[in-house]
Chain A
Amino acid sequence: MRRRSFVSDYWILGLTLLFIGWFLWRMTSHESMGWYVINPSTPQGAINMQFLLGGLWITIGISIIAMVLSIAIGLLAALMNMSTNPGARMVARGYIELFRAIPLLVMLIWVYYGLPALLDIRLDPFAATVIALVLCESPFQAEIFRAGIQSIARGQHEAAEAVGLSYADKMWFIILPQALRRVLPPLANQFVYILKMSALASVIGLDELVRRANDINNNEYRPLEIYSFLVIEYLLLVLAVSWAVRRLEKKMGSDESGR
């Protein structure tokens, strides 16, 4: 592979900044844009902006709950999938293959409209979204954990077994801490994915970021401005995740592979 020179790196950076600058200038100065809808110095703009920002807490809350639960279930599925018990393996394999194949939107509609109709289980949009996200996401977490666990050297298992540790102790103290450190980057990806996919919950009426943007837009008819603001909200969330994960990686130390 040819190494790019500094000159062309700076060219690309310069052109990118130029493009962003031009885009922002067009967005703010074009006569057809109406930023007043979210201008906090006007009474209605302030109310609108506050309403849009208020959706952040619901999006954040639902994403964190769904992430934590899908990690727990994904880890369990990964361990079952690698177990020596053929029954456990089959259950895990079936779970992963089935739920990985179902689109989140379909799952949301199933859980929210299907469960009350079929089983008379009525859920509020928040609970339904958490369940749908966890069911759709945990198979991905399971495969991430499997890859992480399998990347730990055989010798680590053998050393843990040779000093007499039980399977649970071996996994908890030796294998999982090392595997977790290695799968942090893909787990961060999954978290970002959940943050963004939670937007689909707007279709079952969950009062999150996109739903609120839709509501304001129905009154104001300013989709370009309102959805542009939405982009900034998601961007901030994702940047915050990146920052947090990088700190976490530093805290957990470099990848000290068990050779």
Chain B
Amino acid sequence: MTSGSEAIIRLSGVGKWFGDFQALKDINLSVAPGERVVVCGPSGSGKSTMIRCINRLEQHQAGEIVVDGVTLDDDDRHLAQVRAEVGMVFQQFNLFPHMTILDNLTLAPIRVRKLSRPDAEKLAMEYLERVRIPDQAHKKPLELSGGQQQRVAIARALCMRPKVMLFDEPTSALDPEMIAEVLDVMEGLARDGMTMICVTHEMGFARTVADRMVFMDGGEIVETSPPADFFSQPKTERARLFLGQILGH
């Protein structure tokens, strides 16, 4: 476990309710800079809700979330600070369909980081090279394949030069033949030392990339361990059951 003081993300005692339903129960998690955390668990276990709380797409109702020294609360300035430092990639890509790929990438750097357009475009092209689709810069998102769209979405998040990247089931909406190209890009990011929290069912990816596995069920973190231990000798019955279900076929 990483100690709390040097953590870039720290959740302590985080709770969240949707009406009467408790989605998160006493979540405690610290992530060190450069650490790669993979979150897994059955659907409805609170994985997405947890990472969505980290950039406040969902608001937690109990406990405390600190990102890079900034506490998430009702203060809009704190929110803006955190969102500028935390990149997010969604299951459904959520590219802006009315804009070109290049404009998708440059909008936030220009509006939030106050970069000039030429600088923002240079930055955008760098990241498009990195996700290997610079030739698509002037197309609209829906002209691209799902895998390409998701790589654009990753590049869009990277253009803000975030300190942390959150991935919310980034390959779940993709056709099978496109999953590898997205995972390749994510592995490249991991190699470069990006701090990542990734909700995914891609256990091959988790094995090679994760420093730590977080297993959630019923809104709580049930188990936290290095991937080697998690896959070979899960500590809890619930994790064993889950692994049996997703690796068993």
Contact = CB atoms under 8 A, between A and B. Distances in A.
A253 B83 contact: no
B83 A164 contact: yes
Which of A159, A162, A169 counts the most chain B CB atoms within 10 A? A162
B157 interface: yes
B83 A181 contact: no
B160 A159 contact: no
A178 interface: yes
Interface in B41-97: 55, 57, 80, 83-84, 86-88, 90, 92, 94-97
Contacts of A259: 92
A253 B112 contact: no
B81 to A, nearest CB: 9
B180 to A, nearest CB: 23
A181 B93 CA distance: 21
A164 B97 contact: no
A163 B155 CA distance: 11
B128 to A, nearest CB: 16
Contact of B112 (A164, A177, A181, A257): A164
A159 B112 contact: no
Contacts of A161: 55, 57, 83
Given A256-B140, A257-B97, A258-B97, A162 B88 contact: yes
A159 B96 contact: yes
A165 B107 contact: yes
B156 interface: yes
Interface residues of B toward A: which range? 20 to 34
Interface string B6-38: 000000000000000000000000000000000
A178 B83 contact: no
Interface in A155-202: 155-156, 158-166, 169, 173-174, 177-178, 181
Contacts of B80: 164, 166
B96 A174 contact: yes
B198 to A, nearest CB: 15
A256 B98 contact: yes
Given A163-B156, A164-B83, A256 B107 contact: no
Nearest to B52: A158
Nearest to A158: B57
Q: Is the interface of A mostly helix, strand, loop or mixed?
A: helix
B111 A253 contact: no
Interface residues of A toward B: which range? 20 to 34
B112 A162 contact: no
Contacts of A166: 80, 111-112
A88 B137 CA distance: 41
A164 B160 CA distance: 9
Interface string B219-240: 0000000000000000000000
B243 interface: no
A144 B28 CA distance: 45
A163 B107 CA distance: 9
Given A155-B92, A181-B98, A256-B97, A162 B111 contact: no
Contacts of A153: 94
B246 interface: no
A155 B92 CA distance: 8
A166 B110 CA distance: 12
Nearest to A177: B98
B91 to A, nearest CB: 9
A177 B141 CA distance: 16
A159 B94 contact: yes
A149 to B, nearest CB: 14
Given A173-B111, A256-B140, A162 B157 contact: yes
Given A178-B98, A256-B142, 20 more contacts: A153-B94, A155-B90, A155-B92, A158-B57, A158-B94, A159-B95, A159-B153, A162-B83, A162-B86, A162-B157, A163-B87, A164-B83, A165-B108, A165-B111, A173-B96, A173-B111, A253-B140, A256-B141, A258-B94, A259-B92
15 contacts: A155-B92, A156-B96, A159-B88, A159-B90, A162-B83, A162-B88, A162-B157, A163-B83, A164-B84, A166-B111, A173-B111, A178-B98, A253-B98, A253-B140, A257-B97
